[in-house]
Amino acid sequence: MRSTKILGLLVILLSLVATVWPVLITNPQAQRETVIAVTGQEVELLGYGPYRHMPKDMAVQGFAQDWITLGLGIPVLFFALFVPNIQKLRNRIFAIGISGYFLVQYTMYLTMAAYNELFLVWTGLVGFSFHLLLGLILPLINGSISVQYPSKRQFLGWFLVGNGLLMALLWFSIILGPLFDGTFYPQELEHLTTLIVQGLDLAIFLPPSILGGIWYLRGKSAGWWLAPAYGVFLVMQMIALGAKILGMSLQGVSAGPALVIIPLLGLGAVVGTAFGLRGLGQKESGAV
């Protein structure tokens, strides 16, 4: 656990820098500018802070997620890793979900945001959170643990499958529509080079939701920890997305279907994860 705690501490310290810097080192009075994207679309840039070269509505989402990470993500990660808890296995599963939140968030920042002074900080966060996640998962795979599945696992399992499929369909609707009508470039592309969120979600971040739900329902060995851990991640992610929607609304930008979908998914994630964690019975055998 020593190396895990060191990695966790590095993630916490770097994320403090990454979230406090945009809040303190900003100049909202800076002049905003409008640029023409390679697609010919006019894009208004934010004009200040580390997100100054990002489209205004995307940059506002970055500030909103920073507040959630600072006020909730960092304290929860600290609690999961450093506060003694008699339910060690349950605590580890919780830490896996929170670590996944940091990995996904800063992978998106690193690949999506325009280059700025936080680039090396984000790079460190992606690296440290990845190895933290790996260090938390490997003992569960290699260790000898006898697990009794919670009796109410049906809800969490089906919810995770539905979440993965629903988000995949939403992203496909953005991608396939312009392909079929001949416009090719989705409006959501703005001045980015590609659909980064949609691509990473479909390739890496959504399959664990679907597979974890299926394995959980079928009682597979990987399902007992992946499903509740993904549920914890999803709770954090939906809170952050809710903050983003609020930030966009304050800027007069319509959130569209996400205004309904995200709160419903957030509520489902909370209920399902509570069932998964509270009902989990386990007998540990040196793995944690």
Q: 170-177 long-range CB contacts below 8 Å, 24 or more apart?
A: 170/257, 170/261, 171/195, 171/198, 171/201, 171/202, 172/202, 174/198
What is the per-residue pLDDT for 288? 35
Q: What is the mean pLDDT of residues 281-286?
A: 44
pLDDT, tens digit, for every residue of 235-280?
Answer: 999 999 999 888 877 777 666 677 778 888 999 999 999 888 876 6
What is the per-residue pLDDT for 146? 53
Structural domain boundaries of the chain? 2-283
Q: What is the mean pLDDT of residues 102-114?
A: 94
Q: What is the mean pLDDT of residues 190-217?
A: 92
**Lowest mean pLDDT, pick from 19-28, 74-83, 137-146, 171-180:** 137-146
DSSP string covering 178-190, please?
HHHHS--S-GGGT
Residue 16 · residue 70 · CB < 8 Å: yes
pLDDT, tens digit, for every residue of 148-184?
Answer: 566 666 899 999 999 999 999 989 999 998 988 888 8
Q: Pick the closest to residue 187 from 53, 64, 32, 43 (CA basis).
A: 43
What is the per-residue pLDDT for 284? 41
The structure's pTM equals 0.88
Q: Give CA–CA dist 163/155, Å, rounded.
A: 12
What is the average pLDDT score of the chain? Answer: 85
Query: What backbone phi and psi angles, to 5 degrees, belong to 147?
Result: -120, 135
What is the per-residue pLDDT for 26? 62
What is the per-residue pLDDT for 152? 62
**pLDDT value at 2 more than 70:** yes
What is the per-residue pLDDT for 287? 38
Residue 251 · residue 128 · CB < 8 Å: no
What is the per-residue pLDDT for 183? 83
What is the per-residue pLDDT for 147? 58
**pLDDT value at 283 more than 50:** no
Q: Give CA–CA dist 33/16, Å, rounded.
A: 29
Residue 80 · residue 100 · CB < 8 Å: no
What is the per-residue pLDDT for 280? 64
pLDDT, tens digit, for every residue of 11-60?
Answer: 999 999 999 998 776 666 666 788 877 677 788 887 778 888 888 888 88
CA distances from 124 to 39, 106, 144, 266, 272 (A): 33, 9, 32, 29, 32
* Rg value, the chain, Cα: 20
Q: How confident is the model at residue 85 (pLDDT cuts 50, 70, 90)?
A: low
Residues linked to residue 55 through DSSP beta bridges, in sequence order: 45
CA 210 to chain centre: 16
Q: What is the mean pLDDT of residues 118-145?
A: 89
What is the per-residue pLDDT for 186? 87
